[in-house]
Chains A and B, each alone.
Chain A
Amino acid sequence: MATTAKRPAPNPLRSGLRVGGASEPTVFVIYGASGDLSQRKLLPAIYNLAVRGLLPSRFAVIGYARADMDNESFREFARAAVEKFSRTPVDDHLWPAFAETLHYQSGTFDEEAFKVLGERLEAIDAAHGTGGNRVYYLSTPASFFPVIVQAMGATRLNKPPGFARVVIEKPFGHDLDSAHELADVVHRPFRENQIYRIDHYLGKETVQNIFAFRFANAIFEPVWNNTHVDHVQITVGESIGVEHRAAFYEETGVVRDIVQNHLLQVFALVAMEPPAAFDADPIRDEKAKLLRATKPMTIENAVRGQYGEGYVAGEKVAGYLDEPNVPPDSNTPTYIAAKLEIANWRWAGTPFYIRAGKRLAKRVTEVAVQFKRPPHLPFPTDAVEQLEPNALVLRIQPDEGISLRFGAKAPTPTLALRTVNMDFLYGSSFLAEVPEAYETLILDAMRGDGTLFTRQDSVERSWEIVDPLLDQWRKGTPQVYTGGSWGPDLADELLARDGRRWRRP
């Protein structure tokens, strides 16, 4: 657990309480509190933690931004944000008490202003008994990260009387060199175990279920290897286009937006070795080992695409080049299909095919594990001509669940085997409200649990995997695919040359 001071004795009355929440007094500082992320995600998530009774009893938020607001106007801002974006409605009985925890400090990201912030934090500690414990959330554009953390170091905001943790949002650089540079800057005032790199994908219940599925069930792990698995397909499909984010997307493209972070993290969870414990370091160690064993991507094993006009769910949609603020000669890829190879004992020779894109036929994230055919089928050839090999599909979104494809005898007079699917929806076992990813991750940061956050070694290795491809893709143009399709023809050829084909999600 990250600390900057000697830890006080634990409260014995906390032992064994069923809360599951954060108990250490905490001040949660939001840099960029008036911004979009704060409004859409952070403030609603903190409110929902309050509704669920998971916030520490001594807790305060300081919103920090340039916007000119006082406590009262920030509370009104927060209420409007919660009313608009929270998954639960505002509880008028609870709101006044919650609002009292919200404070605001206007200022710029420089040392003079941060000194004032430090004084404000000390005053809140004295009044609320928050003990000098701080979680700093950098909800600002990434370009401000270096400025903010440097000023925090210069004003000793990184060394409060209690713990100090800093949460930063992706992108963690735009290539390996810039990731190094960012890490160097952040590591000056903060140790690695004080840094919480948030990838909201990992906060999704459904992604965490991959852990449970793989490591809580004995029947799957014995066949989870190259002896039994022919190949794996990971699909992250979006039906939407770039919408109003063209400027951002032109800088990133599908590789930086999806592959380097979300997709490689899911890939790592699917392929990693079992950790010794469900704790931050054992899990992150195994993920890092898996990524180190993954060969860097190359142009020979990858296909890029850019969506053209078409129809999605019956609606006509524009092509990427016709989207607002997209340059007419843009070669930014909105789609990727690639083959990943893992050089380790478990997976050598078993490819992982990944694909991600915008304006695909539907929104879906899934992992399909395709098993090998039985070594011998003791049936007449015509009885098994419609029989597909076994497949296990982990659907992450939407309709989270598991689907198992297997062969069964059809009730026909002559022997005929057919492929059938057995679907299991998580929703048919648990109809409980699922928390937003940000609730899970903010709570974990307050608890000092880094399990679902990305460690610097994984960040760097992920860039090492994608950087060669990004370099090679500076030239050339992506193949245009029809909006609402499953991607360009070349993606089909990528698998066809290995004698395989994409499944239709």
Chain B
Amino acid sequence: MAAAVSHDDHTSDLTAVESMLRAARGGDRTGSVRAITLNLIVHAPDTERIEVAIEALEHVGPSHPLRAIVATPGDGDLRASVASSCWVGASDRQVCSERVLVEAHAKALPSAVTSLLVPDLPVFLWWQGPFTHEEGLAGGLSALASRLIVDSGECGLEGVLAARLLAPSVADLVWSGLHPWRDAVAGLFDGPSEVRALQRIRAVDVRGPENEARLMAGWLRSALAADIDLNREGRQHHLERVTMRAGGKEYLVERKTRGRLGTATVPGLLDYPVVLAPPPRPSLLADELSRLAGDRLFERALDAA
């Protein structure tokens, strides 16, 4: 799939942004119809995170044509730059996304962003960095969004809890990345006899990072409506193993190498391979942009974590 950035321009006048974007799409001469499905506000407090955001947007764009407003708090005058990216897929189909980088004082950013939102379309806020609901910018941008996406790897689970106070729906990219593991763990108990064994699970051993381990335990507690102890070990960057025991038998999902695959072990059956590697972070973001409603499973797991 080929991407082509068609235009890149700068301005300090936000009222000029729409005409600049129109020019970036080829102007009125082409008769092109804009088909955008959502607004995405990205909090990018520094250059590094701006680059991360732009890279992610290039990945997300083909599946979610959107207007991204990358908001950077600064001390200087308001500045904006616009760009439009188009991707050509099979049968020469083309989708286009728009990107506006806007830098302004934190107090001015929410109003600047408001003026740039495409009407009627849903608004997502991807907040990069630590999160506290006491911060004015977080409150101002969250008020514009119907879904707030954070990363508990950056803001901690406490930051996610704080985010819940500000937006009707919150997503955590760490939770999203846990999906292959949750699917594999659930798969351990797909057989009738294993379903019965679930009732006897009282502890889970997790080898991996703290947030992932807490969310895994929270998910099991809420799904099974049971008190389940968490025993965590290791300081790994990635989950390596989840183990549960019932009736003297051990149920295990383990990733032994850094490849995509791991192994699931169910007592009495042949071990079988499972896909455990989470999709890359931009894919996780794209997945969250597909959902507008809250994730009840996540909320319950977070409460129980």
Interface on A for B, CB 8 Å cutoff? 8-19, 23-25, 53, 56-58, 93-94, 96-97, 100, 127-129, 131, 398-399, 422-425, 427-432
Contacts and interface: CB of A to CB of B under 8 A. Distances in A.
A498 B93 CA distance: 38
Given A58-B272, A97-B261, A128-B272, A427 B33 contact: no
A423 B223 contact: no
Contacts of A432: 62-63
Contacts of A8: 192, 195
A129 B35 contact: no
A97 B273 contact: yes
Nearest to B93: A427
Contact of A9 (B35, B89, B185, B195): B195
A58 B264 CA distance: 10
A428 B186 contact: no
Interface of B: 1, 33, 35, 37, 62-63, 65, 87, 89-91, 93-96, 179-180, 182-192, 194-196, 198, 220, 223-224, 259-261, 264, 266, 268-270, 272-275, 287, 296-297
A424 B192 contact: no
A424 B259 contact: no
Contacts of A399: 91, 93
Contact of A13 (B96, B185, B296): B185
Nearest to A422: B33
Contact of A11 (B190, B269, B287): B190
Contacts of B93: 399, 425, 427-428, 431
B190 A23 contact: yes
Contacts of A17: 179, 182-183, 186, 297
A12 B195 CA distance: 8
B229 to A, nearest CB: 17
A58 B261 contact: no
Nearest to B32: A428
B35 A429 contact: yes
Contact of A429 (B95, B195, B223): B95
Contact of A428 (B35, B184, B274): B35
A427 B297 CA distance: 32
Given A13-B220, A427-B95, 19 more contacts: A12-B195, A12-B223, A13-B186, A13-B198, A16-B297, A17-B182, A23-B190, A53-B275, A57-B272, A97-B272, A100-B272, A100-B273, A128-B270, A129-B190, A424-B33, A427-B93, A428-B93, A430-B63, A431-B65
Contacts of A428: 33, 35, 65, 93-96
A423 B33 contact: yes
B35 A13 contact: no
The DSSP consensus for interface residues of chain A is loop
Contacts of B187: 23, 56-58
A24 B268 CA distance: 18
A11 B189 contact: yes
A131 to B, nearest CB: 6
Given A13-B198, A427-B93, A430-B63, A25 B87 contact: no
A10 B89 CA distance: 40
B189 A19 contact: no
A124 B37 CA distance: 46
Contacts of B259: 93
Contacts of B190: 11, 14, 23-25, 56-58, 129, 131
Contacts of B264: 57
B192 A131 contact: yes
Contacts, number: 130
A398 B93 CA distance: 11
A174 B296 CA distance: 50
7 contacts: A9-B192, A17-B297, A58-B187, A97-B261, A129-B266, A424-B35, A431-B94
Instruction: Please give me the 5 A-B residue pairs with the lowest Cβ-Cβ distance, nearest first.
Output: A427-B93, A57-B187, A97-B273, A8-B192, A13-B186
B261 A18 contact: no
Contacts of A13: 182, 185-186, 189, 198, 220, 223-224
B261 A57 contact: no
A424 B87 CA distance: 17
Contacts of B270: 127-128
Contacts of B186: 11, 13-14, 17, 23, 57
A97 B263 CA distance: 10
Given A127-B269, A399-B91, A57 B223 contact: no
B95 A431 contact: yes
Contacts of B184: 57
Nearest to B259: A93
A400 B194 CA distance: 45
Between A57, A399, A425, A428, the greatest number of chain B beta carbons within 10 A of the residue's beta carbon is seen for: A57
Contacts of B274: 57
A197 B270 CA distance: 34
A204 B91 CA distance: 16
Which of A18, A19, A431 lies at the interface centre, i.e. has the most chain B CB atoms within 10 A of its CB? Answer: A431
Given A8-B192, A16-B297, A427 B266 contact: no
B32 to A, nearest CB: 9
A190 B273 CA distance: 33
Tell which of A11, A17, A25, A93 has the most Cβ of chain B within 10 Å.
Answer: A11
A327 to B, nearest CB: 38
A227 to B, nearest CB: 30
Nearest to A8: B192
Contacts of A96: 273
A182 B224 CA distance: 47
Contacts of B96: 428
Contacts of A18: 179, 287
B89 A427 contact: yes
B91 A398 contact: yes
Contacts of B223: 12-13, 15-16
A169 B190 CA distance: 30
A10 B274 CA distance: 21
B62 A19 contact: no
Nearest to A126: B269
Contacts of A53: 180, 183, 275
B1 to A, nearest CB: 7
Contact of B296 (A11, A16, A24): A16
Contacts of A23: 186-187, 190
Given A97-B273, A427-B93, A428-B95, A12 B198 contact: yes
Nearest to A100: B273
Contacts of A94: 260-261, 275
A424 B272 CA distance: 46
B270 to A, nearest CB: 5
Nearest to B61: A431
Nearest to B201: A13
Contacts of B87: 431
